[in-house]
Amino acid sequence: MDFSGHFDSLMVDLLAGKQKAVLTLNEDARGAFDSLKDFPLSITIKKYRKKRSLNANAYFHVLVGKLADTLGTSKAYMKNTLLQKYGQLAIENDSIVPLIIRDDIDMMEREEIHVRPTDKTRIMDDGKAYRVYLLLRGSHTYNTAEMSSLIDGTVQDAKEQGIETATPDELERMKQQWRVEA
């Protein structure tokens, strides 16, 4: 439960050796008080900062984290899985960008590069197997339609895992704002 407000006063109980804080809260805390008054609490107090609204790319990363937690994978692995399924290929000079990478390197755990594997492998002069990958663009480069496709696929995957997602109206707002923010 998060509340905003400010300190009114701080007192020191010399007999108990503890401090007592009096806070003024902007939100109604009666329900929280009633349900928690008899339990030890973990309390965090920090300077208030207005929450930024999530844009489509930030929301994609939120869902990546939730899916990774639910499925027991790393965030890098989950992001790469989703980008392989719903992401956009990198294109230079009207051609898809291929990469040839040693086949024993786990590209699913990479955070700095995103690729889609092909079934093409080659044995190179060093005697090692190399796989041909197709380079994927980072989601921050997507236009509105591309981001919409990525979000829609990711939301569907999240729903299949029982993960609560933003409402259709919230999703549409994020996707429409993407073109302005990108």
The token pair at 182 is 């990108």
Measured between alpha carbons, how far is 5 from 18 in angstroms, rounded to an integer? 22
Residue 178: pLDDT band (50, 70, 90) is confident
Burial of 61 (0-12, 13-18, 19+ CB in 10 A): middle
- Quick: pLDDT tens for 12-41: 988 888 999 999 998 888 888 888 889 898
Instruction: For the full predicted model, state whether its pTM sits above 0.85.
Output: no
Helix (H, G, I), strand (E, B) or coil at 100: strand
Q: What is the mean pLDDT of residues 138-151?
A: 90
- Quick: pLDDT tens for 106-119: 999 999 999 999 99
Interior angle at CA 36, CA 32 and CA 62, nearest 5: 60
